Amino acid sequence: MTAPILDPDGAREQLAAWQGKIERLAADTKSMSDQLQQLRVTAADRDGLVEVTVDSSGGLIDLTLGPRFARSSSDVLARTIMDTVREAKRQVAARSQELIEATLGTDSPAARAIAERVRERLTPPDPTTGQ
């Protein structure tokens, strides 16, 4: 089957509609990018030893040691910091996915691809399971 040949006015209307969709997608993508760039997540361990803040790329931007940190061994403190950073990154990945879905929708192949790349980048393997 071949598509029907459009008259000039019909072709212009289709092009205008297509252009409008592309412009909306570009605006939505810019909005999503801006929101992702501003995204920050703060997480704390349940014992109150550390609090970390990571940015949208998973980079550590703040680390606060609680008053009880001095009573912890250095390896417990180090492990707690790393676990808390991993949790903050997991939260950033989840929040990023929410932003992507809210902006581009769940049916968009582009949204799914972006969300998957974000998830892969921010969710490192668990050192205890390797997954």
Give the mean pLDDT of the chain.
Answer: 87
Whether pLDDT at 7 is above 90: no
Q: Are 93 and 119 in contact (CB under 8 A)?
A: yes
pLDDT digits (tens, 9 = 90+) for 16-38: 888 888 888 888 888 888 988 99
pLDDT in tens, 72-100: 999 999 999 999 999 999 999 999 989 88
Q: pTM higher than 0.85, yes or no?
A: no
Distance of alpha carbon 83 from alpha carbon 60, whole angstroms: 13
- In angstroms, the first-to-last Cα distance of the chain is 49
Fold entry, domain 40-122: Ybab; Chain: A; (3.30.1310)
The predicted pLDDT at position 31 comes to: 86
**pLDDT at 46 (0 to 100):** 94
Domain residue spans of the chain: 40-122
